[in-house]
Amino acid sequence: MARARNPAEAARQEAAGRRFAVLTPPEGVPIRFEIASLMARMGAQIADILLTVLAALAITFFIGLMPFPLVDFFTGVLFALLLLAIRAPYYILSELFWNGQTLGKKMTGLRVLSADGRGLTTHGVVARNMMKEAEVFLPGTMLLAAGGLGAIWTLVLLVWIAILLIVPLTNRKRQRLGDILANTYVVRQPKIVLLPDLSASTQADEFSFTPAQLDHYGRFELQTLETLLRANPLDKPVKAEMGKTITEVAAQIAKKIGFDETIPEGRALAFLHAFYTAQRAFLEQKQLFGEVRADKHHDHDNSGSPNR
């Protein structure tokens, strides 16, 4: 995700047709995401459709090898049922277990996020993907069979498809009906890059953290914290407001990780620096052993730790 360094650059990005959403996670730090373009979403959709069609074709082929014959009509019905049986679970389970991504979205660098800044809910993922059946696949299937529907039903189908296309085209966040219902956005997956020198600047061991406390967050949240710690506004009112934000973020993190010690007044920034250093070292150690935590929704091992 290309971040705007100043308002002028943000305006240039908007003028170039790039749209952005600002989400505020429970930690209280607003994060700016680039809304995925319709072309990128179409590319991801085509990739996912090809994968599900290939899977249905493979299953149909193996059923066709069975010793009993299949009438051509039933072969077509079987293929359609297999597509539905594969497609819906594929989209739902992929987005639930891969933090808002399907294979198609991974290939195109997209991700589904909850508009309230929190983790995706099962209800939201199911809602947006079941609506996709009515928005994308049902009219698509009917369009293929439109030759036998007659002029009136063909016209109704074209109007239906036009309405479904107009919704994301006229929506500032490019949300289709399923996204509006589930309160989700599809965004470009930001590139996570941790700058090398911030943790080295921490001086004291005033605060210490246990592995269980450090197991709540991943690289994505660490990068967000790094952005906050690197901010150094010169304007005094903005600097004062930043101080309030730092205090609130420190309190949110302490509550989230179960840090029971009292953070002394005026030491919120020191607490965040100490947490950043410890969290970064913890994640780097995990990576050495082959476990990469992309964000706080990353699946845990079988130790019994929660993943939310």
Which residue type sits at 81?
Answer: L
Supply the pLDDT for residue 45.
Answer: 92
Asked if 272 and 279 count as a contact pair (C-beta separation under 8 A), the reply is no
Are 223 and 192 a contacting pair, CB within 8 Å? yes
Query: Which residues does residue 34 pair with via DSSP β-bridges, in sequence order?
Result: 20
Rounded CA separation 287/280 (Å): 11
pLDDT of residue 48: 94
| pLDDT of res. 4 | 47
H helices present in the chain, as ranges: 7-15, 38-64, 72-97, 103-108, 122-132, 138-144, 151-170, 177-182, 211-214, 219-230, 236-257, 268-288
User: What predicted TM-score, i.e. pTM, was given to this entire model?
Assistant: 0.59
* In the block, residue with structure tokens 């994640």: 283
pLDDT tens across 26-40, in order? 666 677 788 999 899
Instruction: Name the maximum alpha-carbon separation found in the chain.
Output: 81
The CA distance from 108 to 186, in Å, is 12
Both structure tokens of 73:
């009509």
Cβ count within 10 A of residue 217: 23
Strands (E), the chain: 20-23, 31-34, 110-114, 184-188
Distance between CA atoms of 95 and 79, rounded to whole angstroms? Answer: 24
Q: Name the stretches of the chain with pLDDT < 70.
A: 1-17, 26-29, 67-77, 143-150, 191-205, 232-240, 287-308
